[in-house]
Each structure stands twice: as C-alpha cells, then as structure tokens.
Structure 1
Amino acid sequence: MMRLNPSYLKSYTPEAFDAMEWEALESAMALWSPHFHVAIAGVLPAERRLCVRVLAPLPPVVWPECFAKIAARIVAAFFRFADGVVAAAREPQRLFKLLDMLDAVARERDRLDELFSSESATLVAIRERAREVERALARAAAGVFYEFGLRVETHYVAAGGGHPGAVEAGHVPKIVRYAVNYLKCLASDDYRGLMDTALRAERVVVGDGDDDGSEGGDREPLAEAASNVLEALHRHVEAARRVCPDAVASHVMAMNAYWYIYMRARGSELARLIGEDTMRRRYKASAEEAAWEYRDAAWNPLVRLVSGSSSGAPKAWPSPDEAREKAAAFADMLEERVRRHGVDYKIPDGDLREQIKAAAAKAVRGAYAGFLKANDRAVASGGGRRELLPVDAIEGMVRRVFDEMGDGVAAGIAGRTRSRRQSGNLEGF
C-alpha cells in the first residue's frame, strides 16, 4: 500500500482542505478513488487471506480480530480524507471529484460487504462506516450542486452589476458559459446517474421525497435542478439587460447568451435531460425575441427614416427638399452604423450572424429602394440622383457591418464549416 505513496491522506481536516490550492486538492481527490479501489480490491483481500492462513491453528475468533485491526488502520486513512472533503467548503469546482469518490465507494460496496462480514463486531463496524461515508459523500455532492445553483442565482448581485464592459460589447456573460458547460458535464453518462442518486438521497433526508404521486413526481431530480439553474441564468441575462445603458448592446448580449445556451445544449445529454422542446421554447424563442429587438433598435430606425413607419412601405415625401433631407439623413445614419457597429458589438456565432445579416440587409435595402422609387422625381431634380448611393452599395454596407461583428477569422471558418446538424435557424429570419 505504501508503494502508492498516499501522503495526501495525512491532510484530512476541513481547514487543511480549504487552505490547499485547488490544483493540489484536485490531484489528491483524483488519487483517492483509484487508491481506494486498490485497497479494497487488492490489499485487504490479501491481508485477509494471510490472516486466515497464518492464524489457522489458533481459535477461529483470532484471525477476524487480527484482520479487523489491520483493516481498520488502512480504511481509517481513506475515511478521514473523505470526512475532510465532506466537511470542507462547498466549492462548485469540487463537485466532479466528489462524485468520482462517491462512485468509487459505490463500486466497492459488494467487496466491502464480503470483506467485512459478521465474523467480528469490528469488521461490521467498518462496513457500516463505509456506508456512512457513501451517504456523506452523496449529501456533500448534493450540497455542492445546490451551492453552485445559489451562486448562479446571486452572481449578478455579488458582482456588483456583472461585467459592464462585456455586456456593453454584447458578449456572452462568463457565468453563462461556465454554467452551461458545467451542466453539460453533469448530464453526461459519467455523472448523470451519480448526481441524480445524490439529489434523490438528499430529498429523502430533508423529507421532500417525490414518491407521493403528485404531478411531476416522476421527473429526475437532476432534470429539475438543472432547469432551475438555467432559469437562474435567464434571470441573470435579463438583469444585465435592464442596467445596460446601450439598448443595442443589451439586445445583442441577450441574443448571444440565449443562442449560446440553446446551441451548446442542442442534441446533447443536457437537452435530453431538460427536454429538447423545452430548450427550444425557452431559449431559442428568447434568442429570437432578442434578435427582433436588436433589429428594431439598430436597423429599423433606417427603415422608419425613409418610409415613415416600421413596415417599410414606400412613402412619397411632400417636397423635393424634404426627400433629399431624408436621403442625406439616411446616409449619415448608415455611415454611423458602419463606423461603430462592428467595432462595438459582436455576434460570434456564424450561423446567427448570417441570418440576422440577411434579414437586416433585406429590410434596409427594401426600404431604401422603395424610397428611391416613390420619390424618383424629387431626388432626381437638381442632379440629386447622382449624389445618392446605389441600392447595391447600401446593401453591401449593411452586410459589411455584420462581417466585422465576428470574433475573427477562426469564428468565420467555424461558422462556415459547421455541420447541418449543429446549425440552428431563427424563426422568421
């Protein structure tokens, strides 16, 4: 056993764990699971066989007590380490290693029952202690997950308004990226069953079982808990929108965030856990709503300027001077969009950017072309027609704005090479 160099087992107090750097603690927790397996599957059975063989000439009660003393010293080190992990601070990054430890104990349950049979009261006590450790690890895992959900819920408040710079540029908030990938990992085959078991056990402990036949009682605890975290992310995004001074940036950020949640989960175990239809209704729909609000705030002012309404229906202005003023104001507004839009706002997802680009270019081009046709005589008088930008140039300027809203060449390539299965479409775009 000492060849494994389990020196980390000496640090088992909660204070010692909290004082450790995460990399060191992660390494220790990662070693615990395979070392525990070696101890239970290899070392202790060998010790048991040795005790039986060497002490066979003595009374039958001798070898179990001898083995119990040896086993107690070995497993005590592992159990103390587990106790320290359980009692330490509930940091979200510790959850997956906690689940690995829980899995290690659960996998050895049959061997533990076989090793520590009723031949000795001490052996029975060791077996019961192992079950207690398993339950404690499950409760700790559930507690860490609830802490994770609480931190997502309170992140915006704790951060004093989040990260204004990122929000004002329209970037996906870091907490959204972190939480979605965290949930995706939990929903994977490696952890889904373990996490669900831990949450179910916690419900039993607090007397909130779901076996009462009530509506929704058959839903997995992890599915419900993950849904709550996603709802907390939704509230976080909406809170960030409300305080962002730039309306366009707030819509871009919300659109990017909801689209990120939907596309990252789409087709994954997380989407199957929550429900593909639920993800589509909740987060794709929210992305579509934010996209429409973005287009209304950023591009519909151009449409309204030359047509007098958001519909884009052509309007003949009363006088040539007024028509030419509208054309000049349109050119100035479009130039302002071109100058700052691609610099100030980002839409990193290539598919999303292309869909909105096509919709915005179509709306602006249509309104401008209708304006020129309805006011042809007015803008042509005095040589005004020669001073106006061609319709194709207007559309090209709008499209160029969106080309500059990506995260660079890599993002563009990723968007173009994405498979059909991984692509998504905004309804109505």
Structure 2
Amino acid sequence: MASNYKSADSRLSDLELTCSDLKTLLRATAEMEENLEKMDNKFEVIDETLLTASRRVAPLQSLAMASKALETRINRAVAPALALLHNFKLSETIQDKLLDLSEKLLSEKSMKKRLKKLVKYVDCVDQLKIAINCICEEGEPVIQRLQEVVEFLSRTKATDQYRTHRLRETLVTLKAVYETEVDAMRFEGLLDEALLNLQDEYESILEQIRHRNVVDLQAASDKDDRSDEMAIVGSVLGTELEVELLRRISQTLAADDCLDICIDIYVKLKTHTPEEIDEIPVHASSKVFWEFGLQIEGNSDGLPAPPDGSVPKIVRYAVNYLKYLATENYSVPMAKVLRTEQIWKAGILSKPETDENLLKNAICNIMEALQRNVESKRSSYNNNSRDRDKIGISIHMPHVFGMNTYWYIYMRTRNTELGKLLGDGYLRNNYKVVAEESAYLYQKQSWAPLVRILERDDLEEQQSKEAKAGLVRVKIEAFMKGLDDISKRHRGFCVIPDVDLREQIRAATVKLVIPAYTEFVNSFSGLLQGKVYLGPDSVQELLEKVFDGGDGKLKRRGSKDRTGGESSGMDGGVKDYRRSRSSTNDI
C-alpha cells in the first residue's frame, strides 16, 4: 500500500514538472512570437527604406548609363583624334629635322659626307610624306567621330547648351581648317620645298657623273685591262652611293606624282647608264602614269565637291599635268617609256601601235577617269540635299559646277598640244557640249522661273481693270522678290571663276530677263500709275551686279612653260554667247 502511495507521488511530481516545463515553453514561445513581430516590423521598415533608396538610385543608374554611353562615344572620337595629333607632332618633328639637315647640307664641304646626309634627307622626305598622307586619310574619320559626339550631346542633353554650342563651333572650324589646309600640306609648304630641293640635288649629282667614253672603254676591253675598264665604268656610273641616291630620289619624286621629273630622269640616264639603272625611271614613270588615273578616280570619295561650284583642285592639277605631258619635250620620251613598258610585258607585237596613238590612248584613259571624278562630285550636290538646304545652296549648283569645270577643261586644252593630240571632236563632244548643256540647265532652273512670273495668260482672263491692275502689281512684286532671292543665293554660294565665261552668262541672263521685264512694264505701264517700281535699266543694273565677284585667280605650284589658247564662245545650249579672248590664267 505504501509503495502505491509513493508511485502516485512520483507521477504527480513528474506531472508538475512537465507542467512547469510547458509553462516555460509557452512563455518562451510567446517571447519568440513577440520578437518575430518586432523583426517583421523591422523588415517592413527596411523594405520601405530599400524602396525609397531604389527610387532615389534609379535616376543615378540612368545617369550612370548615360555617362557610360557618353564615355564610349568620347573614347571612339578621342582614339583616332589622338592618333591624328600624334601624326601632326610627328610631322612637325620631321619638318624640324628636315630644316636642320638642310642647313647641314648647305654648310657641308665634303662630297662623301654630303651624300650621306642627303640620304638621310631623302629618308626624312619619305617619312614626312607618309605622315602627311596619314593626316589626310585620318582627318575625315576624326571629324566624323567628333560630329557624332556633338550630335549625341545635343540629342541627350548630357551637357549644357553653352558647351554644346562651343563644341559645334569648334567642329565647324576644324572641318573648315581641314578642308582648306590639307591640300596646302600636300602641295605647298616644307614638303613642296623639300621636293624641289631634291630635284636640284638630283640635277647636281647628274652633272658630276661624266658621260661614258665609249672609245676608251673599248680600248681597255681590247687590251683585257680589267682595272682600266672598271675605272672608266666607275667614272661613268659614279659611286655606289651616288647611284643609290639617284634611285632613291627618283622613287621619291615618282611617288609624289612628279612624272615630269621621272621623264627627265629617263631622258638623261637612257644613253648614259646600263640597263639596271635604265629600268628604274622606266618602271617608275610608267607605274606613276598608269596609277595616276586610278588616283584621280579614287579621289571622288575623298574631298567633297566645292560648295560654291568652282573648279576643284584635282581638275586643275590633272589638266595642267597632261598639258605639259603632251608638249614636245615630254611626249616623245613618255611615248618611248610606254613603248618600252609594253615590250617588256607583251614582247614585240606584229602590228604595234604608233607612239602617238599609244600616248593618246593612255591620256584618254586619264581624261575619262577625270570625267568620272567630276560626275561623281557633281552628283554629290543632289545626294547631300539635306546639307545643301542647311547652308542655302540652291538646286542649280550641279549645273554651275558642271559648267565651270567642263568649260575649264575645254578652254585649257584647246589650241594646245594636248588638244591637238585628243582632237577637236573629242574636246567638243566631251567637254564643250557638256558645259553648254550645264549652262542651259542653269539658266532654265535659275532664271526661267523668274521670267515665267511675267507671263500674261492669267492677265487676259481678268475682266475688270482694277483686278488686272492688282494682278500686275502682284506680278511686279513677285518678280522683284524672286530677283532678290536669286541674287542673295548667287552672291553667297555661286562662283564663276572664269572672267569671260562669267561675262557670257551675265550677258545671256540679261538678254533672257530684261526684254521680258521691259515688254511687261511697257505693256501695263498705264495700270501701274501711282505705283513705284524699278525701271528696266535699274533692274538690269541689279541683275549685272549678281555676277560681280573675284577673278577666280588660283594659286599654282612651281613655274614652268605655259601654253595658252584663244577663247571660244558657247554656241550650244545657251545662245548668243560671244567670247573674244580668255583673260584667265592657265593653271
């Protein structure tokens, strides 16, 4: 019985202990629940804080993305710009070195040392040519990339308006400087002076090399005196350094498109040197000549067409070069060069062409390449219609450009050896006729609409005198406004450099416009009483001032014999043109 009581007390103690543990567990659970609620509240606060921070960070993320895009754009523009600056610095360094070598060459008395310095001088000229070519090739992409950056800044408003405006002005200035100075770097300045110095040095070296004494050489050969023979040959050919220097200078001049100098090299060395040296000018001359047309045609993707419709520099250079090539001093040796090159490549033909036809065909290929270049630039006026509208160039610019350029080619080639070689029919059909057609289209698009304002068809439909008088006044006002608009466009963006051509266009325009205006005013003068209007003489004076401008004088490189010819009038598309004698310089 006692054991039963003990067992019951033990169970009761266990139950009490269990109950106490449960109470403790419940209290702990309640505390945990309370802590969880507090944590939940804290998480809500943190969540709200994160949302607020996210909203505030979102603009910063957009700004960071815009900054990254801006950085990418700027890096794309800066990378080629830095390369261009490096080439400018390199060009400046080489020019300083050239000047230093020029002074040393002038003061050097030892012939051997002078020749060694001259080799370094030729190296510097080649390096300067490469640096300038890199500048010419890299300039357009750099400007394009900078233009992209300016457009991006304007579109995204990544910077303020003032800075964007300054960047745009800087870009316009850089583009203008590049377009005007790139040719000066290539064809003027220190490079041009260095090439002229090389020509003089070349002539000086040639004068030091004596002509071959054939009799002494034959006598030495008959005696089997090898030492005497080599001494004679050495005196004829000069030293190895002189021969190497002649070769280097000829290659440098040929690479700079100085084909006339290469021809002189060929003529002077042809009868005085063995075949190894004789082949140098032949290969160089023929290579430069054949590549000249390709260079002209490839130039269509280079500099843009002149915005004022004037004659591009490549046309002036090519025509002047071909004129000299066709003269007696150059045509005969050039034909021999072409004949020699043909024989080396194809052997002796059974029915060879005459030297004249061989040279004519080669020159015709260059003239055709030049014409394709002109047409490419001419079509660019229409292709860039958006840019044309921005700067105010009117639709007649392709015709002004065609008229100026083809008339220039025709007038500079007729009555010259080049014109005789190509033939009057070739010049007339390919250049004069095209210039006349361009002049006709120019007048049709520029001045014919002004004359059409004065047509009377709608006046005849008016019944009352008041209505007719009102319409007459409207036509007069429209005519004067149209004349003012055309005058502003022409004075700002239209250039006709050839003085006589400009006078012909002026006279033809006056003949087209003034009679129509005079007849209109005289016919309706009774309806214009009390209305102030300009008389025909005043209108003619205003019209003639439209074509006032510069003489279109052009800078030229070097001074050589020039061949001119009498001027000719346009007898095609624009009628009644008269021209006595051209006063424009041959360029």
Aligned equivalent of 1:135:
279
Cα 1:66/1:388, change in 2 over 3 Å: closer
- From 417, 427, 430, the equivalent of 1:282 is 430
Runs of 5+ consecutive residues of structure 2 not aligned to the other structure: 1-108, 129-190, 382-387, 389-393, 555-563, 578-587
Q: With structure 1 as the length reference, what TM-score do the two structures score?
A: 0.75
Aligned equivalent of 1:332:
481
- Residue correspondence of structure 1 range 8-407 to structure 2 within 5 A: 11=119, 18-19=126-127, 21=191, 23-33=193-203, 35-41=205-211, 45=213, 61=225, 63-65=227-229, 67=231, 70-71=234-235, 74-85=238-249, 90-108=254-272, 130-159=274-303, 162-163=304-305, 167-207=306-346, 212=351, 219-244=356-381, 245=388, 246-307=394-455, 316=460, 318=462, 319-320=467-468, 321-376=470-525, 379-380=527-528, 383=529, 386-402=531-547, 404-407=548-551
Shift of 1:211: 5.6
Give, in whole Å, the separation in 2 of the partners of 1:333 and 1:275: 43
Give, in whole Å, the separation in 2 of the partners of 1:89 and 1:29: 8
Post-superposition Cα deviations, 1:42-72, rounded to whole Å, max 9, x if no partner, equal: xx659969x97xxx9xx75355455368448
Q: Which amino acid aligns with 1:426?
A: M
Runs of 5+ consecutive residues of structure 1 not aligned to the other structure: 113-129, 411-419
Instruction: Choose 253-262 or 232-241, whichever is displaced more.
Output: 232-241
Over aligned residues, Cα RMSD in angstroms?
A: 3.8
Does the CA-based 8 Å contact 2:122-2:248 persist in structure 1? yes
Shift of 1:276: 2.9
Give, in whole Å, the separation in 2 of the partners of 1:408 and 1:17: 32
Does the CA-based 8 Å contact 1:315-1:374 persist in structure 2? no
Does the CA-based 8 Å contact 1:105-1:134 persist in structure 2? yes
3-state DSSP class of the match of 2:209? helix
Aligned equivalent of 2:97:
none
Q: With structure 2 as the length reference, what TM-score do the two structures score?
A: 0.56
Does the CA-based 8 Å contact 2:450-2:482 persist in structure 1? yes
Give, in whole Å, the separation in 2 of the partners of 1:390 and 1:281: 41
Give, in whole Å, the separation in 2 of the partners of 1:352 and 1:69: 59
Shift of 1:334: 1.0
3-state DSSP class of the match of 1:40? coil
Does the CA-based 8 Å contact 2:209-2:237 persist in structure 1? no
Post-superposition Cα deviations, 1:218-260, rounded to whole Å, max 9, x if no partner, equal: 7532222222222222222222222213322222122111111
Give, in whole Å, the separation in 2 of the partners of 1:228 and 1:374: 56
Shift of 1:329: 0.4
Aligned equivalent of 1:118:
none
Post-superposition Cα deviations, 1:23-50, rounded to whole Å, max 9, x if no partner, equal: 4354334433453354232xx659969x
Give, in whole Å, the separation in 2 of the partners of 1:406 and 1:182: 25
Cα 1:387/1:65, change in 2 over 3 Å: closer
Of structures 1 and 2, the one with the larger relative CO (CA 8 A, separation 6+) is 1
Aligned equivalent of 2:142:
none
Name which one, 1 or 2, has greater alpha-carbon Rg. 2
Does the CA-based 8 Å contact 1:8-1:28 persist in structure 2? no
Aligned equivalent of 1:123:
none
Does the CA-based 8 Å contact 2:213-2:232 persist in structure 1? no
Shift of 1:361: 0.6
Aligned equivalent of 1:413:
none
Query: In the alignment, is residue 424 of structure 1 matched against residue 565 of structure 2?
Result: no
Q: Which amino acid aligns with 2:516?
A: A
Percent of paired sites with the same residue: 29
Give, in whole Å, the separation in 1 of the partners of 2:567 and 2:379: 30
Give, in whole Å, the separation in 2 of the partners of 1:187 and 1:217: 15
